[in-house]
Structure 1
Amino acid sequence: MKTIQKMFEHLHWANERLLEALQKIEGEKQEALRFFSHILFAEKVWLTRLQGLDSPPITLWDDVEIKDCAELVEQNKKGMTTYMKTLTNDDLDHIITYQNSKGIEFQNTVREILTHVALHGHYHRGQINLWLRTEGHKPENVDFITFVR
């Protein structure tokens, strides 16, 4: 349980660092915002599934503004932190049944879902950093080891 909690502390820290970096950029940044909002929308969908609720009708690749991302960063951090406080080690092996965006039903453990959410976001944060570098901006170091140092 401690490892998963640490992964989510890292996830929130990394999201906040990228949000700050994107907020400082003047001009066009829609491509980066698309990746970033995708991370945040996916986090929101997975949290609702973990809570046993129907996934909200969200387009996972929507065009949004930076202010929308800032709101999602805060909402997701609050929601996931609250959810994680209720989890026990036994809960991690609980099976969650859910439908994906195409209506296909799947089952995974809480542990598998939480691991997926943490890794999925990290993948796309790397894509945002590539965009930052390509556009002449300094990439943000969001490595886990940097976080734990």
Structure 2
Amino acid sequence: MLKLFEYNWQVREDWFNWCETVNEEELLKQRTGGVGSILYTLYHIINVELGWISGMQGSQGQFRHFEDCNSVAKLREYSAQSHAQIAPFLYAWDGSLQDRILKDQNHEGEWEQFRYGEVLQHVLVHEIHHIGQLSIWSRELGKQPVTANLIRRGLFDPIVHPSV
């Protein structure tokens, strides 16, 4: 799962770079089919990742309001700050945490329980889902979206062929 988090972090950084090529008005424009604007979607991705993983760490996380990070530079900084908070937990992950239980209060105020492994998979899929939305919006702007390819990102060790 760690490789998929690294993939998401790389793709997120690619989207920040992409955002630097788009005017701020387009980045903040409310869009159909998602949680809001392009920048708000990136903010939402960071918040969800930080929220769930901070919960598993037993901490509150250092959240920011969107108004405090509603530019590409500020969002990139928020993402880096969030990454610094959660990466040590993810890099220390071992199989013994898979079935550990996280208690979470839903929007109706009811308490629910989730396995840590399920939560991590949710966080991964959540970001990938929203990256798909960004890709659609990118095409609506007449721009090439960030590649979603997992391969050719340098995440895996190269295959070494033994000499015959």
Name the TM tier (shorter chain).
0.7 to 0.9
Deviations for 1:26-68, whole angstroms, at most 9, x for unmatched residues?
A: 2421121121111111111112211123577777xx4622223
TM-score, normalised by the number of residues in structure 1: 0.84
Counterparts of 1:6-17 in structure 2 under 5 Å?
6-17=3-14
Q: What percentage of aligned pairs have identical amino acids?
A: 23
Q: Quick check: which one's helix share is greater?
A: 1
TM-score, normalised by the number of residues in structure 2: 0.77
Counterpart residue identity of residue 7, structure 2: H
Structure 1 residue 114: Cα displacement: 0.6
SS at match of 1:82: helix
SS at match of 2:114: strand
Whose radius of gyration is greater, 1 or 2?
Answer: 2
**Equivalent-residue separation in structure 2 for 1:51 and 1:43 (angstroms):** 12
**Equivalent-residue separation in structure 2 for 1:27 and 1:96 (angstroms):** 38
Counterpart residue identity of residue 35, structure 1: T
Counterpart residue identity of residue 84, structure 2: K
Distance 1:83 1:145, change over 3 A: same
CA contact (8 A) 1:47 1:79 kept: no
Matched with 2:120 is 114
Counterparts of 1:59-138 in structure 2 under 5 Å?
62=66, 64-138=70-144
Matched with 1:40 is 46
Task: Count matched residues.
Answer: 144
RMSD: 2.2
**Equivalent-residue separation in structure 1 for 2:110 and 2:151 (angstroms):** 37
